[in-house]
Chains A and B, each alone.
Chain A
Amino acid sequence: MKSRRLGRIVLNGTGVLVFLAAVFPVLWMVSTAFKPNTEIFSSTPQPLPKHPTLEHFDLVLNGKIAEGSFWGYFGNSLVLALATVVISSLLALLAATAVARFRFRFRTTFLVMLLVVQMVPCEALVISLFLDLKRLDMLNSLVGLTVVYVAFAVPFAIWMLRGFVAAVPKELEEAAAIDGAGAMRTFFTVLLPLVAPGLVATSIFSFITAWNEFIFAFTFLEDQDKATLPMMMQFFFGRSGNAWGPIMAASTLLTLPVIAFFLIVQRRMVSGLTAGAVKG
């Protein structure tokens, strides 16, 4: 009995250690963001700020970062991410309905294609997409970048969404059809409301993809007023290497929305990624 209790304590203790190791870097980022400079460069670092300050956030939100304002970068990132979400969700919903509801020629080919393109290295494609966009005169444009993001977000969105569509009982649609609803009507009144939770999950995933993306934005966008938040972080970090307070404040503002979104959809993401593998 006693050894069992000891085992529990060791187990829970390990759990706490793992938890701390996992959250520590993020905690350190937030903590540094609230520390005055004297504490940041102190010879005896403390885990939490003794005299919390908002000066770094003030500097980031109201000052200039690499010749632009935080809100400018934030706006560009938000527009890109939202446009990517809307377009990729629409495309994914159509394609997911096709693969979950119909058996057609090249269906398996299509699914295998989705798997393959998820593995294509964007580090390679960036070279030829740069030339293509340059030829089309869309290099320095958020529209061009959105289209690229959609291409990278849509394969996984379809993969994840098809499970949700397949889970809607076909009988419901058939009943609607018998009652005289057309294909469109059935889609909007039966299927769409039922896959809405899945649509939210895939939307958040697409949002994170676009919000975090760095290489394409960094390579394609030239003007300072088109730059995104990750680009801002790179400029900021590259130019004022040791201004850790403001850098960590900016990192916090970039990161926390993503973490919040992520915790909302985590379960669905995991099942989307490994659904079949778990079946054993």
Chain B
Amino acid sequence: MLDTAPAVRKAPGRKTSGPARPRRRPRLGPYLLIAPTVVIIAVLMFWPMIQIAIMSFQKVGNRQLRGEPAEQVGTENFDKIFSDPFFWQTLWHTVLFAAVAVALTLLVGTLVGLLLNKLGKRMSNVVAGGVMVAWATPPITAAIIFSWLFGSTGGLVNWLLDLLPDWLVGGGWADYNWFATPLSTYTVLTVCVVWQACPFVAVSVLAGLKSVPSELYEAARVDGSGPWRSFWSITFPLLKPIFLVLLVMSIIWDFKVFTQLFVMSGLANRDAFNLSLYAYSEAFGSINPKLGMGSAIALVLTLILLLVTAVYVRVMVRQGETK
């Protein structure tokens, strides 16, 4: 694998024929095969990305939607955003939610993965199948189901909390409204997102564990190491690449969470906004759309994600995924 890469890099566009090497394939072939994909991605992903960057320095509103040219405003959008405490509040929500949700997802997911590995074959398959159900649930239904579970009339969670003794959980749960404050809204959101994201972590960890030779654990056991020690000295170092990929993917997914929060809390509830909801609300949320402002916020979000993506790509390239 390694030997082809430098050869490809060295090959100039028009190669003077060196040692007679029969050329079996037409040169154009692979480019024609990837051309449609490249065009679609360029037009629908790269170009819009550039547009976002351009628009973040413009004023784009109702007039521009009617066809007037956009007005250049320099860094005005960014000046406004960065001096507005509300922006910092949404950024804080985004970061705090991502930190808590990622930590919980990785912790619970890894524990479930370890459990699946310990269970007997049939039991393991059954539990893995059940866990898949959580993964497969569409985000929009997941959000609605959790709104129902945490609902203030007939909600199961409030009913359970009300049953528990008051000295343990406090009283007044019967008609508690989980979606009244940002903190309680994000609590529900965290439960919902972690429930959906754990399975992917669990199954990936399981796949990794299966590739670890069992002799290593036997040797460790003979040397007198317990399960805790075995995990940190054998499992974790060997599965480090998997954990790195899972960490980066989880950060990216949780950073841009939108649909679930949109359904649970909505555009009217500004106090609970995160970055992506804030950007969307500026761009589409009122009869006086501010697409330039929305783009500026979206650009901040994208740049943060791009930094994380850079780490991801580095890891993947190092592991030979792009070979």
Contacts and interface: CB of A to CB of B under 8 A. Distances in A.
A178 interface: no
Contact of A151 (B41, B127, B159, B305): B41
Contacts of B252: 119
Interface stretch (A53-61, A101-109, A194-202): A101-109
A94 B33 contact: yes
The secondary-structure label for the interface of chain A is: helix
A18 B145 contact: no
Contact of A94 (B34, B65, B146, B203): B34
Interface string B25-60: 101011101101110110111111101100100001
A255 B40 contact: no
Given A104-B31, A154-B37, A278-B242, A219 B284 contact: yes
Given A125-B48, A234-B263, A277 B242 contact: yes
Interface size class of B (residues with CB under 8 A): 35 or more
A80 interface: no
Contact of A128 (B51, B112, B153): B51
Interface string A87-104: 000011011011101111
Interface in B111-140: 112, 115, 118-120, 123-124, 126-127, 129-140
Contact of A148 (B44, B146, B302): B44
A214 B305 contact: no
A124 B153 contact: no
B45 A151 contact: yes
A237 B144 contact: yes
B151 A91 contact: no
B220 interface: no
A25 B245 CA distance: 28
Contact of A124 (B119, B135, B302): B302
A94 B37 contact: yes
B147 A22 contact: no
Contacts of A111: 321-322
B189 interface: no
Interface residues of A, number: 97
Given A26-B145, A151-B40, A123 B138 contact: no
B40 A154 contact: yes
Contacts, number: 300
Interface string B221-239: 0000000000000000011
A221 interface: no
Contact of B119 (A15, A119, A130, A234): A15
Interface in A227-280: 230, 233-234, 237-238, 242, 244, 247-248, 251, 254-255, 258-259, 261-263, 266, 270-271, 273-280
A1 interface: no
Contacts of A131: 51, 60, 65, 291
Interface string B283-323: 11000000100110011011001101100110011011110
Contacts of A29: 141, 145, 148
Interface string A131-146: 1101000000000000
A16 to B, nearest CB: 8
Interface stretch (B3-11, B74-82, B164-172): B3-11
A62 interface: no
Interface in A25-40: 25-26, 28-29, 32, 40
A258 B65 CA distance: 37
Contact of B140 (A117, A151, A233, A275): A233
B241 interface: yes
Contacts of A95: 33-34, 36-37
Interface string B184-216: 000000000001000110011001100110000
25 contacts: A25-B134, A29-B141, A41-B154, A42-B154, A99-B34, A101-B30, A108-B322, A116-B309, A117-B45, A119-B308, A120-B305, A123-B276, A123-B279, A124-B295, A124-B298, A125-B48, A130-B284, A154-B37, A211-B138, A234-B140, A258-B136, A259-B132, A263-B132, A277-B242, A279-B319
Interface of B: 4-5, 8, 11, 25, 27, 29-31, 33-34, 36-38, 40-41, 43-49, 51-52, 55, 60, 65, 112, 115, 118-120, 123-124, 126-127, 129-142, 144-149, 151, 153-154, 156, 159, 195, 199-200, 203-204, 207-208, 211-212, 238-239, 241-242, 245, 252, 256, 258-259, 262-263, 266, 276, 279-280, 283-284, 291, 294-295, 298-299, 301-302, 305-306, 308-309, 312-313, 316-317, 319-322
In the complex, the 3 A-B pairs of residues with the closest C-beta atoms, listed nearest first: A262-B136, A124-B298, A98-B33
